[in-house]
Amino acid sequence: VSVLRSAMGRTARSMGYQVELLDIARRWGPPPGRYQLDQLQAQSQDNRAKVRIIEGRISRGVATSDEVGWLGWYRALSDECDAIQQAEGQAA
């Protein structure tokens, strides 16, 4: 949570990789290094493309349960990032 409330978290939000930052911080502990941040930015682009693909597959009725599950996980993590960062904004 603290990494999302830091300058690093604000940068991640503005650049669109806050979900990936929270995920890696939970798995490996903060703070990630410069190389990891570059990787997170690339991964976030891949994940946003994956979201669009899965949403299209869902709308056509051809998404797999794994795809739907991944999308649910990603959206839940995104919502959690938003809640953490909104709470920080209210506390400031």
Cα dihedral angle (79, 84, 89, 92), rounded to 10 degrees?
170
Cα dihedral angle (73, 65, 28, 38), rounded to 10 degrees?
-80
- CA-based radius of gyration for the chain: 14
pLDDT, tens only, 79-89: 999 999 888 66
Per DSSP, helices labelled H in 16-64 are: 18-28, 34-60
pLDDT, tens only, 7-37: 999 999 999 999 999 999 888 886 788 899 9
pTM of structure: 0.82
